[in-house]
Amino acid sequence: MNKESTDPAPWHEDAANFLKAELARAGIGYDGLCQKLKAIGIEESYKGVANKINRGSFSFAFFLQCMKAIGRHEIHI
């Protein structure tokens, strides 16, 4: 994939895949993520989480919330 393109679609796809991989490594699905987000004070519906992740256009703040919720303190890009 050509990352120098101005088309954001490949970047969104990478973002979605990266977050999905982190969830898989943690053994957590979208429902579990919703519960873990709720535990840190973030209210998200299953549908909202699934849409954000599948779309891949979530904010970096949402990504950080997810990483905190699943206990990931380091990521390697």
pTM of the model: 0.86
Encode pLDDT of 2-61 as tens digits. 556 788 889 999 999 999 999 999 999 999 999 999 999 999 999 999 999 999 989 999
Q: Where are the domains of the chain?
A: 9-69
- Flag whether pLDDT at 68 surpasses 80: yes
Question: DSSP of the chain, one letter per residue?
Answer: --TTSS-SHHHHHHHHHHHHHHHHHHT--HHHHHHHHHHTT----HHHHHHHHHH----HHHHHHHHHHTT------
Let me know: does 44 contact 37? Beta carbons within 8 Å: yes
- Looking at residue 49, its pLDDT comes to 97
